[in-house]
Copies of this chain bind each other. A is one copy, B any other.
Amino acid sequence: MSNPSAAMLVIGDEILSGRTRDSNMHYLAGELTKIGIDLKEARFIADDHVTIMETVKSLSAVHDQVFTSGGIGPTHDDITAEAVAAAFETSISIRADARAILQAHYDRQGVELNEARLRMARIPKEANLIDNPISAAPGFSLKNVHVMAGVPSICQAMIASVLPSLTGGAPLLSQTLRLERGEGDIAEPLSKLANLFSDVLIGSYPFQKDGNYGTNIVLRSTDEHRISQAKQQLKKLLDL
């Protein structure tokens, strides 16, 4: 049985212009691997209503879980919630539960819950709120789409809120063999190994650092025993 599949959708002009470097995808990738959900693809798109809507629709149809980050703040360029609602043809408005969370948060701070901040209470009708322990304004899950903030600390907190509710598969385990040899020297034995162990994912990652070069061979499988067998076989093939 294969693991559930997932896609990540990172939304924001600032990332595509090179102003900001995204870190949410890398973080989510690591967390999903731990619980046995396979991140199959990630997409980075601009703050554009139609693009967000269509991308959410197509990813949601293909994958078991979809995660978005970015575009759920109080300003004019925060249009993700509207676009996700449109993708599922569901209505969106200021919801009492989300409003209460914001009201309590801003009351504690002595800050007015003005019209702009109230936009963050706009949640699609059938969505479940995602807890935001950092700045209160919630994300939401609508069907299999989990809509989260772009600010890394908030996104990470929301990922922690969502993941326990999802059914994972067998976590992908890995072992790494670090070799002080170039890829060109080990490609042939590696290819032999791949033929012998078609059930183990075998990745080859060259590195070049401080004048040293070499290759990290990463063996991945849900079966620890098979990884160890493959590692042993690889050492034999490399005369180690």
A-to-B contact residues, CB < 8 Å:
13-23, 25-33, 38-46, 51, 73-78, 111, 114-117, 119-120, 135, 151, 153, 172, 174, 182-188, 190-191, 194, 201-206, 208, 218, 220
Given contacts A13-B201, A220-B17, contact A40 B46 (CB under 8 A): yes
Q: How far is the CB of A22 from chain B (nearest CB, A)?
A: 7
Assess the A29–B15 pair: CB atoms within 8 A.
yes
Name the B residues within 8 Å of A218 (CB-CB).
14, 19
Known contacts A46-B40, A183-B73, A204-B77; decide if A22 and B15 are in contact (CB<8 Å).
Answer: no
The answer to whether A43 touches B46 (Cβ under 8 A) is no
CA distance A19 to B194 in the complex (A): 20
Please list 17 pairs of residues, one from A and one from B, whose beta carbons are closer than 8 Å in the complex, sorted by A's number: A13-B201, A14-B218, A15-B29, A16-B29, A16-B41, A18-B33, A19-B174, A21-B26, A40-B46, A74-B184, A75-B186, A75-B190, A75-B204, A76-B187, A76-B190, A76-B191, A116-B185
Check B44–A194 contact: CB distance below 8 A.
no
Report how far A45 CA is from B174 CA in the complex, Å: 20
**Taking the nearest CB of chain B, how far is it from the CB of A240, in angstroms?**
17
Residue of B nearest to A15 (CB): B29
Residues in chain B near residue A13, CB distance under 8 A: 201, 203
A206 to B208, CA, bound (A): 37
Q: Would B116 and A184 count as touching, CB distance under 8 A?
A: yes
A114 x B184 contact (CB < 8 A): yes
| 6 nearest A-B pairs in the assembled complex, by CB-CB distance | A116-B187, A18-B30, A18-B29, A117-B184, A42-B44, A75-B204
- Establish whether residues A151 and B208, one from each chain, have CB atoms under 8 Å apart when the complex forms: yes
- Do B18 and A183 touch across chains, with their CB atoms under 8 A apart? no
The 8 Å CB contact of A76, one of B25, B202, B206, is B202
Contacts of A21 in B (CB 8 A): 23, 26
